[in-house]
Amino acid sequence: MADHSISEHSKSLPLKLYFGVWATLLILTYVTYRVAYVELGPFNSVVALVIAAIKATLVALFFMHVWRAGEKFIKAVVLASLFFLLLLLGLTMADYMTRPWS
């Protein structure tokens, strides 16, 4: 790979990595699709969500270059929005889980 023309501030990663991530994502998609048909009880949801989270992290880290982002603030933005999303989900569900009749 002739990378000599990449300018200094370029944040691209090696092409091999991109293809690797791509392949992993496809494999994970296949896995999650097949696993859904296997009886795992409550763990079906867990597995599905864990795989989705892994895939999302891969995309964010490598395709969106969070991995290499020099910018700490970008990571902070991502984490902050996830944190506030969890607040929304968590505190709302806190109401529903503690209602006497449900």
- In the 8-state DSSP scheme, what is residue 61? I
Calpha distance 102→54 (Å, rounded):
32
Min separation Cβ 32 and other proteins, Å:
6
Number of H helices, E strands in the chain: 3, 0
Site residues, other proteins (CB under 8 A)? 3, 5-7, 9-10, 12, 15, 18-19, 22, 25-26, 29-30, 32-33, 36-39, 44-45, 48-49, 51-52, 55-56, 59-60, 62-64, 71, 73-74, 77-78, 80-82, 84-85, 87-89, 91-102
